Structure 1
Amino acid sequence: MDNQQLLNRITQQLKPASNVSKTPAGEVAAQADAPQPNVEQKEAINQVFELFRFNYHNQFLKAFPDYDTLIMGKRLWSRLLLEYSGEVIMRAAEKAVKDSKFLPTVHDVVSRCDRANVLGLPDVHAAYMEACRAPSPKKEYPWSHPAVYFAGRASDWFFLANSPESKALPVFQRNYELLLERVQNGEQLDIDLPAALPQHSEVPLPKEEQQRRLQTLKQQL
């Protein structure tokens, strides 16, 4: 076999491998259409990686030994943490650092990205139980946070009190998580309490005076 024939055979063998390695056009388009992290989220991911570099220097360099690996890692984290705000991501990463002497994985951070926990509110189930057990009048109950009250009101108090947890909890959870997003975005939730009753009620009029005023009113009519 001459050199030209050998070259042709090698070329034929390489063509399938080359075709397999290419990303299909559909996948490229799908990646382009996928949601992208905003500026705040990108900055949070950069800060998280710097936090890890400082606290887990050797482990960090072993996990991300070069620039390309580092960029791939940041892209993966950005995609998996896309539903959380930059603030939530940073607080979750800081919690992960406090909890572990080993370099946290993205799963470790995601597991700590519970909005209620990060924001200092009760978790979904605790909030649900509070809403179910709170006596009436609801507005006057000392709620752990107004978000629990508003989630209960949006879910309907009667529905919560008379439905099994398997049916009521998902409804409450959806309303509660929507409120958590509002709190996370800086909205202040306040419960408008009814005006307090006067400490001293007026002394009722004597019976004779009541009858006299009633008679006067009849005459005016």
Structure 2
Amino acid sequence: MFAEFELVYHNQYNKAFSNPEKLSYAKKLWFSNLRHIQPDRIIAATHRAIRESEFLPTIKGILKYCEPDNIELGLPDSHSAYLEACRAPQPKAEYKWSHPAVYHAGRASDWFYLSSTVEHNAYPVFRRHYDEVCQRIKNGETFSLPSQKAIPETISKPLTPAEQRQRMQKLRDDLDI
């Protein structure tokens, strides 16, 4: 990691680690903060930092790059998720979602609001909920779609008028009406 940083961020690297003592201390500090992460994950984060940042990353930056990104977790980008949530037919729970996060963000945003509000107003609301759900997934939480109750195989016969009056009276008594 440090060798690659030296090659890519040459001037910044030499300014930050100007002498062997600083470099040695920095390596110990970085090791103590990154030792709980798999080495291949650190290397991938290093390459991602090099691709995405023009500045020498900090420990916190590398930790952030170590987190899996949405693509790695199978999550669509927020605008694609928004369009999917808006276009999904009713009943929403039966739709084949690209990821449960889209369903949960849509539900949190309110289906009616999404379908009845223009995109420049509804999308920021959806994006906020979607980002929250994505962060919870990155933190290890799992989301699933709600299970649908099956229609009973046997349908009970309707109550007789006398039975209906008895039930109504029982409800009135229970509710003190």
Question: TM-score with structure 1 length normalisation?
Answer: 0.48
How much is the aligned-residue C-alpha RMSD, in angstroms? Answer: 4.4
Within a 5 Å distance, the mapping from 1:1-221 to structure 2 comes to 50=1, 53=3, 56=4, 59-60=7-8, 62-63=10-11, 64-65=13-14, 67-68=17-18, 90=42, 92-95=45-48, 105-106=54-55, 115-197=69-151, 201-202=153-154
Post-superposition offset of 1:147: 1.0
Q: 1:120 to 1:93 in 2, by over 3 A?
A: farther
Inter-partner Cα distance in structure 2 for 1:139 and 1:107: 45
Inter-partner Cα distance in structure 2 for 1:114 and 1:58: 25
Superposed CA deviations along residues 200-221 of structure 1, whole A, max 9, x for unmatched, are x44998xxxx9xx959979xxx
Inter-partner Cα distance in structure 1 for 2:161 and 2:86: 51
Q: 1:191 to 1:57 in 2, by over 3 A?
A: closer
- Which AA in structure 2 matches 1:194? Q
Structure having the higher Rg: 1
RCO higher in structure (CA 8 A, sep ≥6): 2
Question: TM-score with structure 2 length normalisation?
Answer: 0.59
- Which AA in structure 2 matches 1:175? H
Matching residue of 2:33: none
Give the length in aligned residue pairs: 142
Post-superposition offset of 1:193: 1.3
Post-superposition offset of 1:120: 2.7
- Which AA in structure 1 matches 2:10? K
Post-superposition offset of 1:177: 0.7
Structure 1 stretches lacking a partner, 5+ long? 1-49, 75-85
> Could you tell which deviates more after superposition, 131-140 or 56-65?
56-65
